[in-house]
Structure 1
């Protein structure tokens, strides 16, 4: 006998079935390559064209400057013309983008899409050697850089026998190198500049986005125009789910103002931007994460939605707690993604705002062009350990090591299949073959289970600690540690053990002024989890835990330091 779904889950399922019914914008069908949407844009140029309807509404804002929707489209179209007519670029050429979250970043990205070029966002935190490695891999015809990244890429540029073009943003001083221009000196775009007449097909490559590299050398993830068009639909589907399950009228929805803290080189930024662009909302940007400045911007711009990794969301709540109960008064939604959110985050949002602010969490990867599964509204508060239900354009399988589908409730590898899935890794056929199972199922590398249609991610396969034959899911122990009032941040990982194979260890940073020792934290975990899951080692750090730009903890770095400390 099966347990009937709870009322909130039944509401979500009913709403999503209606949203994805035949004839709706989110209807999807099965094809030999997986589920595909039957409506929506064919290529990204089509999606961008729809934003012209928003005209002079503000789109991007940073330090009092930015673009309206009409200005953004005209600037992207004019730049696309220049690249084709003056630079001699041709469809399929790569455009590497190495910048902070500046408004010009989005102009450059969309210019590449209008010109039929392949945009290659590069990690803004990379140093010269890391940037050179990616540039050697993608061989761009054009680099677009801000001042910091310009200095880092110049040695690579000057070493090239055939020098690519360089377009700098915010770099002062005269241009002294050939095939170099300054963004600020380009001719101003004429209002209403049309996009170039270039043949762009759904199967053409749109982007190469490098993986974060937490488990090794970053790989270039190649996604097509069709994959990105699916990515424009999925977050809008989840936003509609959120509104309807809360009883709101979609026809009365107002454009949102978002504080966007995801770096543009990460797919989560686009998961935030796509529904914003569709509705004519505004994105307020930060040059770098600063919780005090974030509070000021939220008050100044009447921000309605916060979007970022769980670590920054927790930092924002800490700053708001210090500022007093009036802080974050305009906020209605907190969206997190890019890394696993501890269940305590949703509970903390509920406690602080007494139900006024909705918490949302999503799941996606570089290989899926961003979010394809999400948990929203009351359901997320009830089950914050769930990542929710998949979008209509994605199919889910929980697979055993041989690829066989496992029954409901069983833990196995999460496999995904659908339009938003990437086509392969750039110049890495072996890695591409290893990433896919039969019938184009993508192996995510995450351990998960499905219950009543909802997906629960329990850990990364490589992060799993196997202690004496018992599986310990690190994210579960991390979630319990985060519930302790003294804990600001925590990471759980395995360290070698001569008899057990591996032992559980935790690296913890305490809140300022808080006190707790290792035995207290071990007792806290022991009160909630089985004895074999209790960390044998608890090591405290006074500084931030190392994370990559998307908020994921660098466990390889922690593991090396921990093993050295433990001897």
Structure 2
């Protein structure tokens, strides 16, 4: 405990120097959209300013895929040319939407930055949407053009849309070549919209989350701050110079984990973004880590779990220096298995809590915190305030469960074209109601689950995550999901869907006893489905609970 307290004190001391008066990350309080918000004093005011500064990074690799390598200088030139083409060919200007419908590619990122040159708003549509869902997205945000990869261009054709579609493989190279040497510029305000990404829609129709230039620049500054903090821990000077890190991108760019917290900040820090393309295959990805000498990887728990199905000793993973679990909850059992099998996880495994609306992680658990307390999702990051509130909006005492609320310069402007949903989620003081439940203890946040996932069993609140974590400790369980099903007397009862390699080798009684040894009786599932079929998940790794059911 003493060691942990000493490290916290050291972190506070280093952070104080960085954020205090005259520090490179000096914090101040300013009025933002009618509320007093802590912000970095010495900050850039738009993403366009970040793009302009990136020109100085020259011939360093920025974007790398199996098909293409693009340096910072090449990207700067291409973004300017594409912006000019979109303005002159399609009349796109400030506030117009540019749809992006594609798997992860350098062209996805290029389109995002070209939009910033025009003050246009890139809209990241979910690349795995069915035609009907794509139609919903197009109707909702009404882009002037859609830039798509070849596969999604065919899908767009099926929708019958009249919106012009430009392909990444054919149209973009032609337009860039034709308009090379042009760099359109526009006046931008910090709270102008910079991007729209859609919520996962696990509990209803996806909503378009609008992030501002202030939000996304602040997220990049947060990443720069963590670099400076890490240098301070090692007793090294920090001046923001590139350090040669190489980030593996396995989560979709239409999600904040890969766009806001990876592709965009790397334009500032001068690091390389390496794209894994195609379906996730453990062997293929591990070979990519070897060949590209990946240093940093933020994986969703499902991917991490699949790594454990292969012999990790057959791969050279010595370049990996940081490994985190993001986008969906991870069980303590999975964390421990990773530490036992994946060398980097022994010293550098982290986890975090955030949502699309929060722009970046609200809390992060350091490797030491996570090893000592695997249930926590950590402490608030710089600039973030977290409160846990009761249904009436009152802050509850430490250790008491309630709704997690967040305020920071990273929190979204609101939902696109949905004032009612925005008002329900963000109060006049700019506090975001996340819809997630948890509690705070000794400065650390602990998750209970989504309010929409809550099971009300005979007056008792039951959160699926707690039961799923218990189930995942069983050596035969690959993954699990817990849901509430109607019950005439109790209102709801607990049901579990458990995925195993061989359903015949495990009984309900064995699983029931396993959970009963760990949790209160009312949390033990009364109904079971043991299956070899994987759980349905969305592109960011979250279980699609609305698609789960259990037979009579």
For the criterion TM > 0.5, the same-fold answer is yes
2:136 aligned partner: 133
SS of the residue aligned with 1:448? strand
How far residue 344 of structure 1 moved from its aligned partner, in angstroms, is 2.5
Is 1:263 aligned to residue 245 of structure 2? no
Tell me, in whole angstroms, the C-alpha distance in 1 between the residues paired with 2:368 and 2:178. Answer: 46
1:30 aligned partner: 29
Deviations 1:130-153 (A, max 9, x none): 101110111111110111111121
Is 1:330 aligned to residue 316 of structure 2? no
2:522 aligned partner: 532
1:195 aligned partner: 183
How far residue 384 of structure 1 moved from its aligned partner, in angstroms, is 2.4
How far residue 8 of structure 1 moved from its aligned partner, in angstroms, is 4.7
- Change in Cα spacing, 1:499 to 1:250, as seen in structure 2 (3 Å) is farther
Is 1:482 aligned to residue 472 of structure 2? yes
Contact 2:484–2:493 (Cα < 8 Å) also in 1 = yes
Tell me, in whole angstroms, the C-alpha distance in 2 between the residues paired with 1:167 and 1:159. Answer: 13
1:498 aligned partner: 488
Q: Mean alpha-carbon deviation: is it higher for 445-454 or for 194-203?
A: 194-203
Deviations 1:409-435 (A, max 9, x none): 211101111211111211111111111
2:96 aligned partner: 93
SS of the residue aligned with 1:387? strand
Contact 1:237–1:391 (Cα < 8 Å) also in 2 = no
Say which of 378, 383, 388 aligns to 1:393: 383
Matches of residues 156-555 of structure 1 in structure 2 within 5 Å? 156=159, 158-160=160-162, 164-170=163-169, 182-188=171-177, 193=181, 195-241=183-229, 244-245=232-233, 250=238, 254-270=243-259, 271-288=261-278, 289-319=280-310, 322-324=311-313, 326-352=315-341, 353=343, 357-511=347-501, 515-555=505-545
- Change in Cα spacing, 1:361 to 1:202, as seen in structure 2 (3 Å) is same
Deviations 1:272-325 (A, max 9, x none): 234433332212212222211001111111212222211112212333xx2536
How far residue 197 of structure 1 moved from its aligned partner, in angstroms, is 2.4
SS of the residue aligned with 2:305? helix
Tell me, in whole angstroms, the C-alpha distance in 1 between the residues paired with 2:375 and 2:25. Answer: 26
Tell me, in whole angstroms, the C-alpha distance in 1 between the residues paired with 2:333 and 2:53. Answer: 39
Contact 1:343–1:384 (Cα < 8 Å) also in 2 = yes
How far residue 68 of structure 1 moved from its aligned partner, in angstroms, is 0.9
How far residue 218 of structure 1 moved from its aligned partner, in angstroms, is 0.7
Q: Number of aligned pairs? A: 543
Deviations 1:168-224 (A, max 9, x none): 1125xxxxxxxxxx1232242788x46322111112111111111000001111121
Unaligned 5+ runs, structure 1: 172-181
Contact 1:44–1:113 (Cα < 8 Å) also in 2 = yes
SS of the residue aligned with 2:257? helix
- Change in Cα spacing, 1:523 to 1:300, as seen in structure 2 (3 Å) is same
Is 1:79 aligned to residue 78 of structure 2? no
How far residue 385 of structure 1 moved from its aligned partner, in angstroms, is 1.7
Tell me, in whole angstroms, the C-alpha distance in 2 between the residues paired with 1:190 and 1:426. Answer: 32
- Change in Cα spacing, 1:119 to 1:190, as seen in structure 2 (3 Å) is closer
SS of the residue aligned with 2:200? coil
- Change in Cα spacing, 1:134 to 1:305, as seen in structure 2 (3 Å) is same
Contact 2:501–2:532 (Cα < 8 Å) also in 1 = no
Is 1:110 aligned to residue 109 of structure 2? no
SS of the residue aligned with 2:309? helix
How far residue 537 of structure 1 moved from its aligned partner, in angstroms, is 2.1
Deviations 1:104-127 (A, max 9, x none): 100000100111100100000001
Contact 1:97–1:122 (Cα < 8 Å) also in 2 = yes
- Change in Cα spacing, 1:4 to 1:75, as seen in structure 2 (3 Å) is closer
How far residue 401 of structure 1 moved from its aligned partner, in angstroms, is 0.7
How far residue 245 of structure 1 moved from its aligned partner, in angstroms, is 4.9
How far residue 438 of structure 1 moved from its aligned partner, in angstroms, is 4.3
SS of the residue aligned with 2:446? strand
- Change in Cα spacing, 1:518 to 1:421, as seen in structure 2 (3 Å) is same
How far residue 518 of structure 1 moved from its aligned partner, in angstroms, is 2.1
Give the TM-score normalised by structure 2.
0.92
Deviations 1:249-271 (A, max 9, x none): 65798321122101000111021
- Change in Cα spacing, 1:325 to 1:150, as seen in structure 2 (3 Å) is closer
Contact 1:34–1:395 (Cα < 8 Å) also in 2 = no
- Change in Cα spacing, 1:359 to 1:5, as seen in structure 2 (3 Å) is closer
Give the TM-score normalised by structure 1.
0.89
Contact 1:28–1:392 (Cα < 8 Å) also in 2 = no
Unaligned 5+ runs, structure 2: none
1:177 aligned partner: none
SS of the residue aligned with 2:126? coil
- Change in Cα spacing, 1:398 to 1:136, as seen in structure 2 (3 Å) is same
